[in-house]
Amino acid sequence: MRDQKQKSDDMIFGIRAVIEAINSGKEVDKVLLQKGERGDLFKEAFDLIREHSIPFQYVPVEKLNRITRKNHQGVIAFISPVTFYDIENLLPGLFEEGKNPIILVLDQVTDVRNFGAIVRTAECAGVDAVLVPDKGAARINADAVKTSAGALHLVPVCRTRDLKKSVLYLQQSGLKVIAATEKSSENYIKTDYTGPVAIVMGSEEFGIDRQILDMADDRVQIPILGKIQSLNVSVAAGLLVYEVVRQRADLKS
């Protein structure tokens, strides 16, 4: 059962316990709230969740009961092992340090192990930050950290309520937005990654949001020569970020 496997440092339940966790500065990844729950204390917790911009979801009580058999009082919070950043605060500092930023944007990549593997590769390739939406993204838990080989403690993860708005911010800040999609006819090695770039990867199931695709400066595809028509997203991300490494190395040589 999931509740038997849940680590105590990964989850907090009960209204007062969750309130205290938020007030003490714990990094809360997500909160599950019981549908239809009412009461002053519940409202206090909800207002605090909104005040701190913590992602939340209303779920049936049965789902909460599957996570823990203990008295959760309609509220379960998952604690993140990493600190989240704001891309609008992080990016100016990268430019001030004289960096040529590489930002990896993950749209609806929800598989925890894929996410961990992507961040591991990103760290090895010198990616400056990973940008994810606060809803529809992989939970950053112990499995993600393990799969990342600890890279999640090294690469800043930026979380945003509005991924489209954040991608537009990157673009307006001088980054070239490059979207990886099988709908493109341009081979990924043919585009220029030598300047500041934001590489957008979508989930294997849904791809990249249409509006973000339309915003992109370049759309690129990785050639598929076999019968299976798509690569694992972590493999595809690795190919693109190392193309950035290759082109920048060639520029210096």
| Domain extent listing, the chain | 2-79, 84-252
DSSP per-residue string spanning 77-98: EEEPSS-EE-HHHHHHHHHHTT
Average pLDDT over residues 5-19: 77
Confidence tier at 25 by pLDDT (50, 70, 90): confident
Per CATH, the homologous superfamily of domain 84-252 is SPOUT methyltransferase, trefoil knot domain (3.40.1280.10)
pLDDT at 24: 87
Statement: residue 3 has pLDDT above 80: no
> What pLDDT digit, counting tens, does each position of 54-82 carry?
889 999 999 999 998 899 999 999 988 89
Residue keyed to tokens 């500041």: 196
Single-letter residue type at 190 = K
How would you class 93 by CB atoms within 10 Å of its CB: exposed for 0-12, middle for 13-18, buried for 19 or more?
exposed
Q: Report the alpha-carbon distance of residue 74 to residue 168 in Å, rounded.
A: 37
pLDDT of residue 235: 95
Superfamily of domain 2-79: Ribosomal protein L30/S12 (3.30.1330.30)
Please state, as a whole number, how many other Cβ atoms lie within 10 Å of the Cβ of residue 7: 9
